[in-house]
Structure 1
Amino acid sequence: MAAIECRSIFISDVHLGTRECRAEYLLDFLESSHCDHLYLVGDIFDLWSMRRRVYWSAEHSAVIQAILDKAHAGTRVIYIPGNHDGALRVFAGTEFQGIQVRLEAEHLTADGRRFLVSHGDEFDALVRHNRLVKTLGDGAYQVLLRLNRHYNRWRGYMGHPYWSLSAHVKNRVTRARRYMRHFEEAAAREAVHRDYDGYICGHIHKAGIESIDGVLYCNDGDWVEHCTALTEDFQGNLHLLHWSDHIRTEVIHPVPSKAAAADLPLAARIGVAVP
């Protein structure tokens, strides 16, 4: 497979240190791609889960080494800690092995658009203000992820491709859909308020590119359920890639007008995979 040459790559929600991390897919993606800018948009490590139990494989170490190799080769690497690796926020403003740690970042695309980049947990009032609800929700989600792992082990044995059971269930729970929509709208409002052209984040494990309130909301997804990354080409177009079945481009987006967005295929407007 030919290497992917792009200007920028955004990945988040890798959750290294857990069994749910699809490190083998991410390693394949990192080794198959070259970029000028690499943004690690939070939850690269799952320090929350690692307090209880640590799962660490050779692929997890290889992912870290692949990122370090890119930094040493000249790629500008920015690490924005999320809520699961929030302990690393104390290092904001420092640099380690060529990796810059920031609380947030501004990304200027090749065509001159300004994007605010952050993990996104700052919009999650449940995480910030209601620990009991968060703990109960996180527990149910962890059960879903374990089921997802076993289910896909069976699918692989039967010769079927990866498919996210956890994402399927989550996207059909009304409360979860409502929360994700409120999150997307809050991120778009923040971009409008701060006079950015768009917002790039992670956190909710729902990849997508969508024009909301005149700005471009971009979520790079995760490497637990979906195995997705957001990339920018050298013309400034944003691409959403799904990697679990090898490379597949799902959405390609310059910033569209609202009228133009209405004419896009439904899959492109809502971020659903297009084979």
Structure 2
Amino acid sequence: MKTQDRLRIKRHVRTIWISDVHLGFPGCSAEYLLEFIRDMRCETLYLVGDIIDFWSLKKKRYWPQAHNNVVRSILGKAKHDTRVIYVPGNHDEVMRDYDGLTLGNVEIRNSVIHETIDGRRLLVMHGDQFDSAVVNSKFIGLIGSAAYDFLLRLNRYVNWCREKLGREYWSLAAAVKHKVKKAVKYISNFEGAVLHEARRQNVDGLVCGHIHRAELTRLDGITYMNCGDWVESCTALIEHHDGTLELLKLADAPEVLKRLDPLRPELAA
């Protein structure tokens, strides 16, 4: 590839949160995430759990080059100018045994409080702590995953077709889930548990993942932020340099990038 072909404008923000990447699972949108990571630069990057899907890897060994490239890109940022904090989830809970350690320039914290540039305190945790089904029975989660796995594979096929037709990204999986009454009720209960924990820890807001439902809203005086996922909706949460928080969606990427602070053109990482 010629040098000029690799020239790109990077965008700089203060903080980025991503969660539920599920590397090692066929439904992971690693290619989209890799482009996002390469196009963005930040002071702090939070990996809010389920980054590596050890549950899926136990059932089937799946690790394509794109997944390896995501890991290498993140480690490259950690080695140079980005503080990377890994907050494990339930699919990568083996990493919770290393709470407080720094491995390969990546800090591991089971939960952490982030302070925005304007002084707000945000609790960062994966979110499975609020899900009694996960806490009480991992077996139930494994049983229910077959239909979900199929839906995510179908989601990838649909978007492959849309990309060939020049259409924007659209999440079939998220659309189906939002129509299911049980899922809507679960999300409502989940948000209630988040509010309770935020008040208990006396913070201004809480950032999590886990339920694959991106959200940025105020609930009874608490800022609730869910950074979404990279298997269904492909979303991330960012903090601008003035402290403004924003939810980025892959489908809105061209318009969003125009509004972000550009750095000088440079070679892609």
Normalised by the length of structure 1, the TM-score is 0.87
* Structure 1 unaligned regions, length at least 5: 253-275
Q: Which residue of 2 aligns with 1:263?
A: none
Q: Which residue of 2 aligns with 1:266?
A: none
| Aligned residue pair count | 251
Give the counterpart letter for 2:54 in structure 1: L
Regions of 4+ moved over 6 Å: none
Structure 1 residue corresponding to 2:132, chosen from 125, 134, 139? 125
Matches within 5 A, 1:58-69: 58-69=65-76
> Deviation at 1:159?
3.3
Unaligned stretches of 5+ residues in structure 2: 1-7, 260-269
Aligned residue runs from structure 1 range 18-29, under 5 A = 18-29=25-36
Cα deviation for residue 247 of structure 1 reads 3.9
- Which residue number corresponds to residue 44 of structure 1? 51
Q: Does 1:229 align with 2:232?
A: no
Q: CA deviation at 1:188?
A: 1.6
Alignment of 1:27-176 (within 5 A): 27-176=34-183
Return the letter of the residue paired with 2:70: V
Tell me how far apart the structure 2 counterparts of residues 174 and 76 of structure 1 sit (CA, whole Å). 40
Partners of 1:97 and 1:133 lie apart in 2 by: 34
Partners of 1:43 and 1:66 in 2: CA distance: 17
Q: Distance in 1 between matches of 2:203 and 2:256?
A: 26
- Please report how far the alpha carbon of residue 175 of structure 1 lies from its aligned counterpart in structure 2 after TM superposition: 0.2
User: Alignment partner of 2:14: what SS?
Assistant: strand
Shift in CA distance, 220/167, structure 1 to aligned 2, threshold 3 Å: same
Cα offset, 1:192, TM superposition? 1.1
Q: Whole-Å Cα distance in 1 between the matches of residues 172 and 184 of structure 2?
A: 16
Partners of 1:189 and 1:213 within 8 A in 2? no
CA 1:132/1:89 → structure 2, altered by over 3 Å: closer, same or farther?
closer
Counterpart selection for 2:9 from 2, 9, 23: 2
1:209 matched to 2:205: no
State the identity %: 46
2:169, 2:250 within 8 Å by CA — same for their partners in 1? no
Q: Secondary structure at the match of 2:42?
A: strand
Asked if the contact 1:242/1:248 (under 8 Å) is kept, the reply is: no
**Higher alpha-carbon deviation: 17-26 or 115-124:** 17-26
Counterpart secondary structure, 2:152: helix
CA distance in 1, matches of 2:63, 2:170: 23
CA distance in 2, matches of 1:25, 1:176: 26
Deviates most, 51-60 or 135-144: 135-144
Per-residue displacement from partner, 1:235-264 (whole Å, max 9, x unpaired)?
Answer: 1110111125634449x9xxxxxxxxxxxx
Matches of 2:232 and 2:133, distance apart in 1: 22
Kept in 1: contact 2:84–2:107 (CA 8 A): yes
1:180-259 aligned at under 5 Å gives the runs 180-244=187-251, 246-249=253-256
Shift of 1:95: 0.5
CA RMSD across the alignment: 1.8
C-alpha separation in 2, matches of 1:66 and 1:131? 31
